[in-house]
Amino acid sequence: MSQKPDNSQQIDELMTAFFAQARAQFGPAVKTYWFYAGDLCPGCSQPTDGAMKFKGKDALSLNAYIYRERGVLIGYLLCKTCAKTIHTAAQKNPYRQTPLHAQIEQFLNAAYLHHIRKQDSQ
């Protein structure tokens, strides 16, 4: 894992808000949160800093999902291409997961487990 991006304070604040919302919706099923601070997009493995344009304005492609088996809300940044792919798919088929979602979750689950093993070995 790399260091957090330059916008880490903004990401921390948003992850705290995402976690509070997840706890309000799902209660104790969501125990903690973790932010994937890698340099690579979990959707395509291309370098990303999460910066993108959305409706003509600067935006941060911060996303999160719940790794149910571990009760962890995992936050992550996508590259512009993957973010656009997901937004386009969501407009065509709202509330449906795409194969890209599954790929992202698989990548991040593995990254989280690696993180936990690394923490346990210290």
pLDDT for 13 beyond 90: yes
Question: Looking at residue 2, what is its pLDDT?
Answer: 41
At 19-50, the pLDDT tens digits run: 999 999 999 999 999 999 999 999 999 999 88
pTM score of the predicted model = 0.88
pLDDT for 3 beyond 60: no
* Beta carbons within 10 angstroms of residue 77's beta carbon: 26
At 56-104, the pLDDT tens digits run: 888 889 999 999 999 999 999 999 999 999 989 998 988 888 999 999 9
For residues 60 and 101, the answer to whether their CB atoms sit within 8 Å is no
Question: Looking at residue 53, what is its pLDDT?
Answer: 83
Segment (H or E) for 58: strand 57-60
